[in-house]
Chain A
Amino acid sequence: MSDQKYPRPLPTPSPEAQRFWEGTKKHELWIPYCRSCETSYWYPRDFCPHCGSREVEWRQSEGKGRVHTFAIQYRAFHPGWADEVPYVTALIDLDEGVRIFSNLVEVEADPKAIRCEMPVEVVFEDVTDEITLAKFRPVSE
């Protein structure tokens, strides 16, 4: 796969998020963690947004969580998605205690097939040679 063949917006890893994107490329999910207040947080910053401490590190997530909420996108807001609608966006509550924005995949884009609090696990989508996106699929309870 090359960048030219992926028609949708791609992330450009920022300096403080390099570790996250290096992780997804290896099909691992890494989340920032504050040693001072012992809390995971999202998104990556060089300090903890809960307590302001700079004593932060990266911890690997199990990649399991629940759908906090979802929406089904019937309109492509970027032309690259035109052939993908309807498509499911979701906020995922990871077991490590952070909420992240992603897509639900391997599920029918139908409100009857999806519900809030549905358990999910991470799947990795290698969209270019450089970028892998972390998405989520339903798993049984």
Chain B
Amino acid sequence: MTTDREKAGWLKRIAIVGADESDEIGMVPHKGVLQHHSEAALNALDDAGLSLADVDGLFTAGSSTLQVAEYLGIHPTYTDSTSVGGSSFVIHVEHAAAAIAAGLIDVALITHGETGYSNRFRKVSRAPMDPWFPAAQFEMPYHAGGPPSTYALACMRHMHQYGTTHEQLAEIAVATRKWAMLNPKALMRDPLTIDDVLSSRWITYPFHLLDCCLVTDAGGAIALTSAERAKDCKKPPVWVLGSGEAHTHWTLANMPDLTTTPASISGPLAFEMAGVRHDDIDVVEVYDSFTYTALVTLEALGFCKPGEGGAFVSGQRTAPGGDFPLNTNGGGLSYTHPGMYGMFLLIEAMRQLRGEGGERQVPNAKLACVNGTGGALSSTGTLILGVD
């Protein structure tokens, strides 16, 4: 029996044909946000064998497509600035694939650029929130302060409900660092132990410093097109086989279940569309804003049962050489995390599926699962990507 979601699989096959970071990532105080967008765009298009003149669809988050298109000097006929946090760029893939499948555009460019590290020195401040908004009225007065405080509340409930431990969370930080040590572009490449994580200072209990992602400067971009057009590109295509997106809340008090994420919705949508099983997946790239984010996402996606994430990641199972390669670029925890990290999940999945992973290449990686998370565990996009 074919389900509706399987039927919704793209009428035409959609390919990701280019992916790259901006020229320099990490601590880059001499470059601005739009430089990161444009360098990454040019690099990704070059990787695809395409040029700016080929782009008719532009997708970005954080910045508006108005600003990015002008800076790039292009006049797109289809744009999407969907901005739902770090998951946005993963969600853009579904939107871009739909636009290409519908015949509205030929070449979609998704760009990202942020200077999360350098903003503090240039005194770049966030846009103030409308004081009548629920978060301003019912969270801010109680010292809700950004992602560490909200994700910590979710993690604490998970620990209470399932007995998840600090040591299990630290397993993820250590395994992810081992991948970063194999990635020349990763910011943090010194060896790390479980004890190092557990003895690092508290940021927000239950998170130690080393449970938290980096704050860096970086840009990234990917290019998509139809199967037909992909034949003319430089490298073999990476197919978008399945996709799903979901969001469930903005303020944490309205999160339906603190111990999961909307990946419990977007994950099944993506797997169903792709028609693949969890056992088929060779490499997994999930958002790791915190160690907990990665742990709970594996549960929400169905790689293990709710509450079993701690046991699942124990024994360095997700490290190089383990039987569950996870966040193979070193993740937001050790490679880079400029603020909205989703773009970098896509770039790494591309590299693994193309066999461009160098020292960190997962042997014979044919099928990848990517999941971006945004907001306060609010939004997710899941993709199943594969090569012939």
Contacts and interface: CB of A to CB of B under 8 A. Distances in A.
In this complex, the member of B136, B146, B205 whose beta carbon has the largest number of chain A beta carbons within 10 angstroms is B205
A68 B138 contact: no
B149 A89 contact: yes
A72 B205 contact: yes
A91 B252 contact: yes
Contacts of B120: none
Contacts of B205: 71-72, 74, 86, 111
A15 B233 CA distance: 56
B203 A69 contact: no
Interface stretch (B27-35, B153-161, B222-230, B359-367): B153-161
Given A101-B252, A116-B160, A14 B132 contact: yes
Contacts of B146: 77
A13 B132 CA distance: 7
Contacts of A89: 142-144, 149, 153
Contact of A69 (B134, B138, B142, B258): B258
Given A43-B253, A77-B145, A99-B253, A72 B202 contact: yes
B219 interface: no
Interface residues of A, number: 41
In this complex, the member of A11, A71, A72 whose beta carbon has the largest number of chain B beta carbons within 10 angstroms is A71
B140 A71 contact: no
A81 B203 CA distance: 14
B131 A12 contact: yes
Given A12-B132, A70-B153, A77-B149, A43 B140 contact: no
Contacts of B252: 91, 101
Contact of B144 (A42, A72, A101, A117): A101
Interface of chain B, main secondary structure: helix
B206 A74 contact: no
Contacts of A90: 153
Contact of B201 (A42, A74, A131): A74
A43 B134 contact: yes
Contact of A11 (B138, B206, B253, B258): B138
A91 to B, nearest CB: 6
Contacts of A69: 153-154, 156-157, 160, 258
Contacts of A53: none
A91 B14 CA distance: 43
Contacts of A115: 160
B253 A100 contact: yes
A39 interface: no
Nearest to B154: A69
Contacts of B258: 68-69, 91
9 contacts: A11-B137, A13-B137, A42-B253, A72-B202, A73-B143, A91-B153, A100-B253, A102-B142, A111-B206
Interface of A: 8-15, 17, 42-43, 68-78, 81, 84, 86-87, 89-91, 99-103, 111, 115-117, 131, 133, 135
